Structure formats: C-alpha cells, structure tokens
Amino acid sequence: DTAVSQTPKYLVTQMGNDKSIKCEQNLGHDTMYWYKQDSKKFLKIMFSYNNKELIINETVPNRFSPKSPDKAHLNLHINSLELGDSAVYFCASSQAGGAGDTQYFGPGTRLTVL
C-alpha cells in the first residue's frame, strides 16, 4: 500500500493555465507538507498543514493555494502558471509536526510549464 500518494506523476501545461496536484496519505498522520525541488535538486518547504490548519507558508507566491479538505489530504492549486514554476513538487506527511518527527515523502509530481 502506498503511504503518501500524489497525482498526477507528470503535468505538462502552458503558461497562464491553472492546475492542481492532489496528495493523500494513509498513515494517519496529522501534519502534511508541500516541497518544491528545483532543477538543481534543492528541496524547499512551501507549506505545512497540521490537522487541516495552515501552520507554515514560506514566502510562496499567492498563486499557490493549498487546500486540506481533511487531514489525510493536502492538495495544491496553482493559478496563472509561470515558467519558473517548473519543478518537481513533493508532498510529505509526518505524525505530529514535532522535533522527533519523521517525514514520509510522496513520489513527486514533475510540473513542466511551456
């Protein structure tokens, strides 16, 4: 069984479009995250949600809007896509968002903006 799943795996779209990436975790964790991995493989935290509540928003443009319908899901909606949004986006989850937490990552969604 997949612990953290994301869809789609690949997403190719034109500049200016709006797209969504879905994430689900079946681990019973309270905290979920979105990371962006750029072409140089740098992993940068974008958002953290704890029990459906936004905890951290790391200076991400407001074109990016995460939505958490329940604590097992954290979707990422992106408006007016730009070339610089091309990257791999990883969803992750952890038990409680604490110092001893282990983050479990999804397989990633490769977004290409043309």
Partner 1 sequence: GQQLNQSPQSMFIQEGEDVSMNCTSSSIFNTWLWYKQDPGEGPVLLIALYKAGELTSNGRLTAQFGITRKDSFLNISASIPSDVGIYFCAGRESGGSYIPTFGRGTSLIVHP
Q: Give least dist CB 102 to partner 1, A.
A: 5
Q: Report which residue type is found at 6.
A: Q
- For residues 44-53, one letter each, b for 16 or more C-beta atoms within 10 angstroms of the residue's C-beta and e for the rest, the string is eebbbbbeee
Nearer to partner 1, 81 or 106 (CB): 106
Q: Which residues bind partner 1 (CB under 8 A)?
A: 4, 33, 40-45, 48, 56, 90, 92, 97-108
Three-state SS for 40-108 is CCCEEEEEEEECCEEEEECCCCCCEEEEEEECCEEEEEECCCCHHHCEEEEEEEECCCCCCCCCEECCC
CB of 68 to partner 1, least distance (A): 16
Minimum CB–partner distance for residue 80 and partner 1 (Å): 27
Alpha helices (H) in the chain, listed in sequence order: none
Q: Which is nearer to partner 1, 44 or 63 (CB)?
A: 44
Taking the complex as a whole, the smallest distance from the CB of residue 67 to partner 1 amounts, in Å, to: 20
Q: For partner 1, give the closer residue by CB, 73 or 79.
A: 73
Question: Which is closer to partner 1, CB of 15 or CB of 43?
Answer: 43
